[in-house]
Chain A
Amino acid sequence: MAFYVVQFLTGLASAASLFLVASGLSIIFGVTRIVNFAHGAFYMLGAYVAFTLTERFSGALGFWGSIVAAALIVAAIGVLVEMLLLRRIYHAPELFQLLATFGLTLMVEDLVVLNWGPNDLVGPRAPGLKGAIDFFGQRIPSYDLFLIVLGPAVLGLLWLVFQRTRWGVLVRAATQDRDMVAALGVNQKWLFTSVFALGVFLAALAGALQIPRDAVNHAMDLRVIVDVFVVVVIGGLGSILGAFVAAVLVSELNAFGILIFPKISIILVFLVMAVVLIVRPWGLLGKAEAPARRTPGLAVHPWRPLTSNERIAAAIALLVAASLPLVAGNYALTVGAEIAIFVIFAASLHFLMSVGGLASFGHAAYFGLGAYGVAFVAKLAGLPMIAALLLGPVLGLLGAAVFGFFAVQLSGVYFAMLTLAFAQIVWSIAFQWVELTGGDNGILSVWPERWAGSPSHFYWLSLGVAVLAVGFLRIATFAPFGFALRANRDSPLRSEAIGIDGKRIQWAAFVIAGTVAGIGGALFAYLKGSVFPDVLGIPLSVDALVMVLLGGVETVSGAIVGAIVYKALSIWLVSQTEWSKLVLGAFIVLMVVAFPKGIVGTVESIWRRRPSSVKAAVLASKIESAE
């Protein structure tokens, strides 16, 4: 019995830091409508800065002074970020905001390693709370008890601030109607900045408070942000009390899940999240959001199929690509095959995003499932390569069918957070279920058979599959299915009123996109000759997003160009610099701020030479007022 009580208390202690981060995210979202992906990065920075302060300045500040000072320093960094970056993108589509703050996260990860090195750092323990309390033979660290008290205390303080101070009233008013608050003469800029500072302070404080419990490392940002996304999806984005309840729930599920499913404890959290989403799609204490701003919203010109001249141009480009083995060496062909595979992957996400308006932040899950599917079929079942290539993607299809069913119940930022969380769950399973997947060691020697073994043959195979996949997606885009999907994206109200079952259409699109991604993953497994959990990872999901964005969200097939340019660039970049994340992150931020239409979109609008930006603005305002 005592053991369960201790397990419960440990869960409560973990809930405290999760709550701090989640409430910060919620407060920022409530006012600015930005889901701050970089929140995990601020949490991590808080931990690193606190480590330095407690190590070097504990004499001047003391342990507790150092913790608070660390949170304040990081909050000041947050203010800079808000003023320099976020103020430029408050009116951009949600997808761009998520991507920009993700780019920031990437940069911080490399900067942290630059400054503090790649190794885990173990901070000091809290003075006065170093010991443990004996509880019927079980030991509870005193520091855990402190954290258990801290969570509700912060909740109470936040409640007081929001209910009893003038600033709190303004924040609550802005949460309900930003424009009205601005019309009443409140200085919006500083309200936003101060809210962002508070949110970042809470995240950094949580990070700083973790150092007596856990080692500080440069991967803690993604771990915490995924947990926090799960918390806010369950609790309801924008609700502080919801964040608290869900943080406790998730932490307890983790604490006890380890006892029930030691290998895949994350399953339990997933099941609870699924139930909550079915019963209350906006979270336990959240409110239904107004329909999300339309993610594209940049172009007005309707799409059209290729003209005969464009078809000829595409055929010539394909012919050139197909004749690459005549001139290129083996290394170039391997790179070429990899690019073709990423064209498949990016095109599948692009279909979901541009036609469906569904920005998945975890599309790598289905790419990776396809890769693992091949590995299972080829290595465990020992079937021939053709069978593996056909059956492998089925795993991607099944994953997309299960997760997609839940994901399409939501839209906008909720959809993005949920897909990200699902991908992370799949990654954790692949990582933890060592008996089946080999865990971190992966599944090795998945080599193609002789007919596809040579670099040129494998290149042709990848190119051929890419052409089929892209062609299929293009045809589907201009088929009634694609139009129904776009109809639902453009106006859910109207499409429902003409008999379109939006959720079913979106689900089908999710399954299609997941399956095509799985086909890419299946080829990828044979290209690399092995499968590791990385193929399911968040960085790969974000690669795909950047490819789509680089090509142009608003275009029919921009992702092809995006994938080619991005993949070629990143392969080159990795060979040139150690700090590829820093460069990549800066690149993403720059692209979102300065170049939102992408390559193909920009070329198209130059081609048209029409004042389309004016029309786009008119349209955007029309859409906004209609909603």
Chain B
Amino acid sequence: MSASKPLLSVEGLSKSYGGVHAVRGVSFSLFAGEILALIGPNGAGKSTCFNMLNGQTTPDAGLVHLLGRDVTGMRPREVWRLGVGRTFQITATFPTMTVRENIQVALSSHDRKLFNLTASMPSSALSEADRLLELVGMGGFAKRACGELAYGDLKRLELAVALANEPKLLLMDEPTAGMAPRERIELMRLTAQIAKEKSIGVLFTEHDMDVVFEHADRILVLNRGNLIAEGSPEDVRKNTEVRAIYLGEGLVYDARHREGAAP
């Protein structure tokens, strides 16, 4: 991608639970503006790997460097302060607040105003909050109760929240899980567009191979905790080991893009 220093670089990341090696010596880097997909069958260690990047899980060994800083073992909130936005596999929002207030909380945290006891939150950072909502196409939802939103809208709200601290890196854990096919495509197009415009690096895990091969610049493949392949969608598509792992699972992509690879 780029000759400059990577946004995120991971070296020898490992984690085991009891006797199970969930992640073993995984290393990779991610550059600004790049969209990197992390794929692998269930139990490959994707989520564990993911959670170690923003401090949700502490690795047993290995280093995570973000913008040249060692962030290994930092708490999620500290990693966030360095400019890492994150969305969750199962959406995590504040259901008793309005859509706009969800964003306003993130903005006030970004401005370090959390201990302010007297300002009026409902009227703070209005334009900034609405700009973010417009960005993800939710301008008309500002005053809606977050608890009433449809699931696809919640995913978009999460994206807006994740963008509130002007992140340099976005971590998206299965961003389209549980969404209708059309919503998936829209959400990922939107993400890719924002990432390119603002030169944000995006790392996402995904089960839907259509989404992965359409949007990822590069793909990492995990199996049983090991990184078994890394490269452009074309390279990964041709990789025999990857095919062997996925064949038994009826890889969607295989059926559709048969012309792209040897049988």
- B-contacting residues of A (Cβ < 8 Å)? 296, 299-305, 475-476, 478-484, 486-487, 490-491, 493-501, 505, 508, 615, 619, 622-623, 625-626
Contacts and interface: CB of A to CB of B under 8 A. Distances in A.
B20 interface: no
B93 interface: yes
B164 to A, nearest CB: 7
B196 interface: no
A263 to B, nearest CB: 39
A481 B146 CA distance: 20
Interface stretch (B29-37, B60-68, B97-105, B228-236): B97-105
B188 interface: no
A508 B88 CA distance: 28
A498 B145 contact: no
Contact of B92 (A303, A475, A494): A494
Contacts of A501: 77, 114
B244 interface: no
A479 B148 contact: no
Given A300-B148, A490-B95, A497 B77 contact: yes
A557 B210 CA distance: 51
Contacts of B124: 480
Given A482-B121, A493-B92, A498-B161, 5 more contacts: A302-B98, A476-B118, A479-B118, A480-B105, A491-B94
A623 B109 CA distance: 24
Q: Which are the 10 A-B pairs with shortest beta-carbon distances?
A: A494-B92, A490-B94, A480-B108, A300-B147, A498-B106, A484-B114, A499-B109, A480-B116, A619-B147, A499-B80
B207 interface: no
Contact of A481 (B97, B104, B116, B145): B116
Contacts of B121: 478-480, 482-483
Contact of A486 (B75, B91, B94, B119): B94
Contact of B97 (A490, A499, A625, A626): A490
Question: Chain B interface residue count: which class?
Answer: 35 or more
Interface in B191-244: none
B109 A484 contact: yes
Contacts of A301: 145
B54 A497 contact: yes
14 contacts: A300-B148, A301-B145, A478-B121, A480-B116, A484-B108, A486-B97, A487-B105, A490-B96, A499-B77, A499-B80, A500-B114, A619-B95, A622-B147, A623-B95
A301 B147 CA distance: 8
A593 to B, nearest CB: 24
A92 B104 CA distance: 31
Contacts of B95: 300, 490-491, 619, 622-623
Which of A478, A483, A491, A623 counts the most B-chain CB atoms under 10 A from its CB? A483
A301 B80 CA distance: 29
Contacts of A303: 96
Contacts of A494: 88, 92-94, 161
B184 interface: no
Contacts of B75: 496
A500 B88 contact: no
B81 A499 contact: yes
Interface of B: 54, 75-77, 80-81, 86, 88, 90-98, 101, 104-106, 108-110, 113-122, 124, 145-148, 161, 164-165
Nearest to A627: B90
A613 to B, nearest CB: 13
A623 to B, nearest CB: 7
Which of A296, A479, A484 counts the most B-chain CB atoms under 10 A from its CB? A479
Contacts of B94: 486-487, 490-491, 494-495
A80 B146 CA distance: 42
Contacts of A505: 114-115
Which of B109, B122, B148 counts the most A-chain CB atoms under 10 A from its CB? B109
Given A479-B120, A496-B75, A498-B109, A300 B86 contact: no
A436 B147 CA distance: 53
A619 B92 CA distance: 13
A625 to B, nearest CB: 8
Given A300-B145, A497-B76, A475 B97 contact: no
A296 to B, nearest CB: 7
Contacts of A499: 77, 80-81, 106, 109-110, 165
A515 to B, nearest CB: 12
Nearest to B119: A479
A478 B122 contact: yes
B160 to A, nearest CB: 12
B109 A500 contact: yes
A420 B244 CA distance: 59
A476 B116 CA distance: 8
Contacts of A480: 105, 108, 113-116, 119, 121, 124
Contact of B147 (A476, A483, A497, A615): A615
A497 B120 CA distance: 23
Which of B81, B114, B115, B148 counts the most A-chain CB atoms under 10 A from its CB? B114
A615 B88 CA distance: 23
A303 B101 CA distance: 11
A123 B115 CA distance: 58
Nearest to A477: B121
A353 to B, nearest CB: 14
A486 B105 CA distance: 10
A623 B92 CA distance: 9
Nearest to B121: A483
B138 to A, nearest CB: 16
Contact of A484 (B105, B110, B118): B105
B197 to A, nearest CB: 22
A503 to B, nearest CB: 11
Contacts of B147: 300, 615, 619, 622
A490 B119 CA distance: 21
Nearest to A616: B147
A481 B114 contact: yes
Given A496-B77, A497-B77, A499-B110, A483 B97 contact: yes
A483 B91 contact: no
Contacts of B91: 626
B68 to A, nearest CB: 21
B120 A483 contact: no
A479 B146 CA distance: 19
Contacts of B164: 498
Which of B77, B88, B96 counts the most A-chain CB atoms under 10 A from its CB? B96
A481 B124 CA distance: 13
A160 B108 CA distance: 56
A352 to B, nearest CB: 15
B105 A626 contact: no
Contacts of B108: 480, 483-484
A491 B115 CA distance: 18
